[in-house]
């Protein structure tokens, strides 16, 4: 039987996992329990507030489905996703800066040829995107795979439409010199979904629910670290108050609009970091006496 008190209960819970053989799991569990118990004690959480929290998390789970990840939005709007991303990329590698994946990524989007469009015909300002994927030395990375997705001209992702058409989403590969090109439409600033528990939370907190206009990129290539990033439209009103804290200064760029043609252009290069496992192999070869 334990003695009463917060610290005694905390230690009892920690001791319950003493047989755990996974060292990393034990570290994460111990820290989670200590911080969670300290939070409950610090704010003096009442039974009614605790129950409200349980109901909030339950509603968050119920709102998730194949096309919507409410827990991801909860993580995003609390800044957790951005913090995890920053911690994972603290070491300077010379690579382009990363940003949050967001809740609208889907695996294996349709692949297009160099210069083709990922946008269905319809509303929106036509946008041409060109650039190169490079290594740390500035050389082009051939065959890199770019998964690209953004909003349509109305400020919605394809998965937000009732019929879930594939639109403004696709995959393109770099040419032999690392260059890529595709067409889409200008992304729009937009509100994250507000009809679920996360939207209700932001309303109670007096926070707005908008993200600045941006295009998402997930870039992979053999021998390189994957890069998940986004390019944000310069001058957007929500750059300084992104609802999910994903904006980085280095990722703001001009989407140049040509009034004569009614079209826009984005020119952007990306730099990939060598896969850490490959760096270790290179270092081992470099110091080998043979």
CA 7 to chain centre: 37
Q: Are 247 and 232 in contact (CB under 8 A)?
A: yes
CB of 193 closer than 8 Å to CB of 199 = yes
Nearest to 81 by CA among 66, 63, 103, 108: 103
Alpha-carbon distances, residue 151 vs 48, 143, 146 (angstroms): 40, 26, 17
Residues 38 and 131 in one domain: no
pLDDT at 287: 44
Give all strands (DSSP E) within 44-198, no chain letters: 126-134, 145-150, 169-173, 179-185, 190-191
Together in a domain, 121 and 222: yes
Distant-in-sequence, close-in-space partners of 96: CB < 8 Å, separation ≥ 6 = 227, 229, 250, 270, 271, 272
Q: Bigger pLDDT: 276 or 225?
A: 225
Per DSSP, 115 falls in state: T
* Confidence class for position 189, pLDDT limits 50, 70, 90: very high
For all residues of the chain together, what is the average pLDDT?
92
- Please report whether residue 158 resides in a domain: yes
Is the pLDDT confidence value at 109 over 60?
yes
Structural domain span for residue 12? 6-45
Residues 132 and 11 in one domain: no
The answer as to whether 116 is a domain residue is yes
Tokens 């390189």 sit on residue: 224
| Number of structural domains found in the chain | 2
289 inside domain: no
- Phi, psi of 10, rounded to the nearest 5 degrees: -60, -45
- 176 shares a domain with 37: no
Residues 117 and 186 in one domain: yes
Cβ contact 73:198 at 8 Å: yes
- The string over 212-221, giving b where at least 16 C-beta atoms fall within 10 Å of a residue's C-beta and e elsewhere, is bbbbbbbbeb
Residues 134 and 230 grouped into a single domain: yes
Query: Are 123 and 165 found together in one domain?
Result: yes
Residue 128 and residue 258 in one domain: yes
Q: What CATH number has the domain bearing residue 258? A: 2.60.130.10
Q: Report the predicted TM-score, pTM, of the whole model to 2 decimal places.
A: 0.88
Distance, CA of 262 to CA of 255 (rounded, Å): 13
- For 35, phi then psi, to 5°, come to -70, -40
Cβ atoms of residues 67 and 164 within 8 Å: yes
- Are 33 and 113 found together in one domain? no
Question: Do 162 and 255 have their domain in common?
Answer: yes
Residue 283 placed within a domain:
no
Q: Assess whether pLDDT exceeds 80 at residue 5.
A: no
pLDDT in tens, 240-289: 999 999 999 999 999 999 999 999 999 999 999 987 655 444 444 444 44
Same domain, 228 and 119: yes
79 within a domain of the structure (yes/no): yes
Phi, psi for residue 85 in degrees, rounded to 5: -65, -45
Same domain, 35 and 79: no
Q: What is the pLDDT of residues 23-61, one digit of tens each?
A: 999 999 999 999 999 999 999 999 999 999 999 999 999
């Amino acid at each position: 039987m334990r003695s009463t008190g917060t610290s005694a209960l905390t230690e009892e819970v920690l001791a319950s996992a003493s047989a755990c053989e996974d060292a990393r799991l034990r570290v994460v569990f111990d820290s989670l329990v200590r911080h969670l118990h300290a939070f409950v004690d610090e704010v003096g959480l009442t039974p009614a507030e605790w129950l409200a929290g349980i109901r909030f998390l339950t509603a968050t789970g119920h709102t998730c489905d194949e096309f919507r990840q409410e827990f991801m939005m909860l993580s995003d709007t609390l800044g957790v996703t951005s913090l995890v991303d920053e911690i994972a990329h603290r070491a300077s590698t010379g690579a382009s800066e990363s940003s949050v994946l967001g809740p609208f990524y889907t695996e294996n989007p349709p692949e297009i040829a160099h210069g083709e469009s990922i946008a269905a015909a319809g509303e929106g300002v036509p946008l041409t995107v060109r650039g190169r994927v490079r290594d740390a030395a500035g050389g082009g990375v051939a065959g890199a795979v770019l998964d690209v997705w953004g909003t349509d001209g109305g400020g919605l992702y394809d998965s937000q439409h009732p019929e879930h058409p594939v639109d403004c989403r696709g995959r393109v590969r770099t040419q032999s010199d690392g260059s890529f090109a595709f067409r889409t439409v200008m992304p729009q600033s937009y509100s994250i979904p507000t009809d679920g528990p996360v939207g209700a939370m932001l309303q109670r907190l007096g926070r707005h629910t908008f993200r600045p206009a941006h295009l998402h990129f997930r870039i992979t290539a053999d021998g390189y670290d994957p890069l998940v990033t986004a390019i944000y439209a310069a001058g957007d009103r929500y750059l300084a108050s992104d609802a999910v804290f994903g904006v980085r200064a280095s990722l703001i760029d001009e989407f140049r609009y040509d009034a004569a043609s009614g079209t826009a252009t984005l020119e952007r290069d990306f730099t990939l970091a060598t896969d850490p496992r490959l760096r270790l192999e290179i270092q081992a070869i470099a110091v080998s006496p043979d």
